[in-house]
Structure 1
Amino acid sequence: MITISSISFGEDVEREVLDTLRSGVVAQGPKVAKFEERFAELVGTRHAVAVNSGTTALIAALQVQDLEPDDEVLTTPFTFVATLNAILESGATARFADITESDFALDPAVTAERVNERTKVLLPVHLYGQVADMAALMPLAESRGLAVVEDAAQAHGATFEGRGAGSFGLGCFSFYATKNLTTAEGGMITTDNDTVADRLRVLRNQGMRRRYEYEMVGQNFRMTDLQASLVLPQLGSYREQVESRRRNAEALRTGLKDVDGLRLPSELDGRGHVWHQFTVTLGEDAPIDRDILAQRLYERGVGSGVYYPKAAYDYDCYRKHPRVIIEDTPVAASVARRCLSLPVHAALSDGEIDQIISAVRDALEAS
């Protein structure tokens, strides 16, 4: 079975972890600090503040916005629910704008229509490894006085017109096990704002700057040196991994470009895609639906994934929530019914790429 993701660690990671174990410093320490420094360089910001998950990164980034109970955060419904959970954790109200099918991210025109006097934060999600249309979203945020928090959980090293994902506002990244860079669990917040970075470092450490000297109500959001040890060696070869993903994506695009009823993802002009996922959408006139395609691929030895099967708000626990405002998002609802992610990870061989292409073609042409 060709899996949707591949997780493996080399001897360099084993040596780094062993070095940490032998050092006796396994909580937040010098390895975390080194990871922060190198990740800030990757993104192109002055600061990177490590935390213990991508969700925590979003929660902390929203917490330092000092939101009031009636404030609203405007985001996309086509995202993992961590985005929505973080908004609710902050005490704010969540409101949604629709997406475009070209990048699976916020539609700037619809977003502008949904901004109101209660909107305080714009929260775009850079989905599947490609940055949202920040050329349109940033002027909107600036003209309306909105803070920008970027959910860049899947966009490590992605760029928009030369700027890194996570460098436009407060960038929030995940290092979950299946991400392009992983610490098993972990997150990072990036910023150029010295004051905000300082607040985040105090916040993640129970509100302490020095032991038992509390400056704010805080949390334990710390990353451990053991987690950082997993990812430090990965950073040295990350560019090569991304290039492998790009080659795989291009091979998939070439092999599937003439398949009727299948819409392929692309790297849009001015954007540097890191291909966390290769997500296709079936046309409304496709001979089979997404779930049948996934089953036929499985029968042919190819794994796939649905990211995501519903809009984030389309569950009872959110539909009934008093701080979740649901408005029509027809593109997101349609894409959620029709999307399917194919393997694109760096461990794929040329033969496996060919197998994926053949399996997709056979599954659709057999109808």
Structure 2
Amino acid sequence: MKARKPIYVARPTLPPLEALLPHLETIWDSRILTNMGEFHQQLEQQIEAYLDAGPVTLTSSGTVALVMALKALEITGEVITTPFSFAATAHAIDWVGCTPVFVDIEANGFNLNPACIERAITDKTRAILAVHCFGVPCNTVEIQRIADKHGLKVIYDAAHAFGVRSSPNVIRHGDCTVFSFHATKLFSTIEGGAVVCHSAATNDCLALLRNFGIVDESTIACAGTNAKLNEICAAIGVLQLAALDQNMARMKAVHMAYQTHLKGVPGLTTLTYPEGVEPNYSYFPILLGPDFRCARDTLHHELKRQNIHSRRYFSPLLSEASPYCDRPACTPFGMPNARRVADNVICLPMYPDLSMEDIVDICSIIKDN
């Protein structure tokens, strides 16, 4: 079966151009292009209301948001994190002069294993940076128990989890939660990110860090950076947020179609969500076991040959990447669960306007390969 056109793992969702033009006219008339202008302030307020989770600090990217969260919490030393994530998770730790310490993920999931976290704590450990991988919330209760026991800060990388609902609200856990609004995300400002925190003092620090540490015309309080979201990206975000629930409903339909067409395939496991979680359906990973008809890489290359661009998220593991693999302090333990998943997982194309015909074609290749 030959794909009729390229099908990518993600396809940016954009607002109608005619809806954006009035916002662009406002920006052109005001000549305010950055520095927390009208649309920047509007988007921050709207995200706060949407998340129902406290103050939001918009940033120019999710990566810089991670760096700012670590800086605002004054994290030094070692930070326990996952090897099964995008590079930004570990890079942010390294950029602030800390050491990422990788520990294994759960045996039956994609998130940090709390038992492995506790084993890795040393007198140098200062924080846990956990990832809500594929939008599935971590075991936040157990992670917080460990953090409280050892006096550690907790940061959640929620790049995959914007719009995920749970009871209690997953955004209310930890000291900071960080989002990415990159173009490939379901909610996108093209480039952008945000930090949500629950401390007024930390929120004030984030605001300073975002704008060079400048308090006023004559006062620079700290060594900050330029992490502001520009007005054009913020205006796009305002429109994207208004359409988010509708797009998530479309993603749910895509998710359910995949589940239907892949049900019962030997050796193939699909993503399931815990009870009480309303997902955003942003990713559709499949895990291939020994009973599947071929190796993961064989399937990946066959899909690509037919113009379907899946992704081996996340391979290689961060613990195997060049910046970290030769640093013994980063990899003090084995990670068999992460290794098994990295060798056998593949993320299928997932976006709101993916057609049912394309879904059937993709699933047919998977079943017939």
State the aligned residue count: 361
Q: In structure 2, what is the equivalent of residue 291 of structure 1?
A: 297
Q: For the residues of structure 1 that align with 2:278 and 2:175, how far apart are their CA atoms?
A: 18
Q: Secondary structure at the match of 1:188?
A: strand
Residues 332 and 125 of structure 1: is their aligned pair in 2 closer, same or farther, counting only changes over 3 Å? same
Q: For the residues of structure 2 that align with 1:323 and 1:221, how far apart are their CA atoms?
A: 30
Alignment of 1:211 onto 2:222: no
Deviation, 1:131, is 1.4
Q: In structure 2, what is the equivalent of residue 34 of structure 1?
A: 42
Q: Secondary structure at the match of 2:346?
A: strand
Q: In structure 1, what is the equivalent of residue 3 of structure 2?
A: none
Alignment of 1:161 onto 2:159: no
Which structure 2 segments of 5+ residues have no match?
Answer: 1-5
Q: Secondary structure at the match of 1:124?
A: strand
Q: For the residues of structure 1 that align with 2:26 and 2:224, how far apart are their CA atoms?
A: 31
Q: Secondary structure at the match of 2:80?
A: strand
Q: In structure 2, what is the equivalent of residue 17 of structure 1?
A: 24
Which of 269, 274, 278 is residue 275 of structure 2 equivalent to? 269
- Counterpart amino acid of residue 29 in structure 2: R
Deviation, 1:64, is 1.4
Q: For the residues of structure 1 that align with 2:29 and 2:355, how far apart are their CA atoms?
A: 36
Q: For the residues of structure 2 that align with 1:14 and 1:334, how far apart are their CA atoms?
A: 48
Alignment of 1:78 onto 2:68: no
Instruction: Name the % identity.
Output: 27
Q: Residues 266 and 291 of structure 2 are in contact (CA less than 8 Å); yes or no, is this contact kept in structure 1? A: no
Q: In structure 2, what is the equivalent of residue 344 of structure 1?
A: 350
Deviation larger for 173-182 or 324-333: 324-333
Residues 39 and 118 of structure 1: is their aligned pair in 2 closer, same or farther, counting only changes over 3 Å? same
Alignment of 1:45 onto 2:53: yes
Q: For the residues of structure 1 that align with 2:334 and 2:21, how far apart are their CA atoms?
A: 49
Q: In structure 2, what is the equivalent of residue 58 of structure 1?
A: 66
Q: In structure 2, what is the equivalent of residue 123 of structure 1?
A: 129
Which of 335, 348, 353 is residue 359 of structure 2 equivalent to? 353
Q: For the residues of structure 2 that align with 1:240 and 1:89, how far apart are their CA atoms?
A: 37
Q: In structure 1, what is the equivalent of residue 156 of structure 2?
A: 150
Q: Where does structure 1 differ by over 4 angstroms across 4 or more consecutive aligned residues?
A: none
Residues 41 and 318 of structure 1: is their aligned pair in 2 closer, same or farther, counting only changes over 3 Å? same
Which of 2, 7, 14 is residue 7 of structure 2 equivalent to? 2
Q: Residues 53 and 171 of structure 2 are in contact (CA less than 8 Å); yes or no, is this contact kept in structure 1? A: no
Q: Residues 207 and 218 of structure 1 are in contact (CA less than 8 Å); yes or no, is this contact kept in structure 2? A: yes
Residues 15 and 307 of structure 1: is their aligned pair in 2 closer, same or farther, counting only changes over 3 Å? farther
Q: Residues 147 and 154 of structure 2 are in contact (CA less than 8 Å); yes or no, is this contact kept in structure 1? A: yes
Q: Secondary structure at the match of 1:39?
A: helix
Q: For the residues of structure 2 that align with 1:65 and 1:120, how far apart are their CA atoms?
A: 10
Deviation, 1:36, is 1.1
Q: For the residues of structure 2 that align with 1:252 and 1:242, how far apart are their CA atoms?
A: 15
Residues 254 and 290 of structure 1: is their aligned pair in 2 closer, same or farther, counting only changes over 3 Å? same
Q: Residues 182 and 192 of structure 2 are in contact (CA less than 8 Å); yes or no, is this contact kept in structure 1? A: yes
Q: In structure 1, what is the equivalent of residue 115 of structure 2?
A: 109
TM-score between the two structures when normalised by the length of structure 1: 0.93
Give the root-mean-square deviation of aligned CA atoms. 1.8
Q: For the residues of structure 2 that align with 1:21 and 1:295, how far apart are their CA atoms?
A: 47
Deviation larger for 246-255 or 230-239: 246-255
Deviation, 1:101, is 5.0
Q: Secondary structure at the match of 1:179?
A: coil
Deviation, 1:301, is 4.2
Q: Secondary structure at the match of 1:121?
A: strand
Deviation larger for 161-170 or 119-128: 161-170
Deviation, 1:248, is 1.4
TM-score between the two structures when normalised by the length of structure 2: 0.92
Which structure 1 segments of 5+ residues have no match?
Answer: none
Deviation, 1:160, is 3.4
Provide, for residues 218-245 of structure 1, a one-character-per-residue CA deviation record: whole Å limited to 9, x for no partner.
Answer: 1111111111111110111111111211
Q: For the residues of structure 1 that align with 2:275 and 2:246, how far apart are their CA atoms?
A: 22
Q: Residues 101 and 335 of structure 1 are in contact (CA less than 8 Å); yes or no, is this contact kept in structure 2? A: no
Which of 321, 333, 336 is residue 330 of structure 1 equivalent to? 336
Residues 330 and 149 of structure 1: is their aligned pair in 2 closer, same or farther, counting only changes over 3 Å? same
- Counterpart amino acid of residue 71 in structure 2: Q
Q: Residues 211 and 228 of structure 2 are in contact (CA less than 8 Å); yes or no, is this contact kept in structure 1? A: yes
Provide, for residues 262-312 of structure 1, a one-character-per-residue CA deviation record: whole Å limited to 9, x for no partner.
Answer: 111111222222122101111034331111101222334432112111110
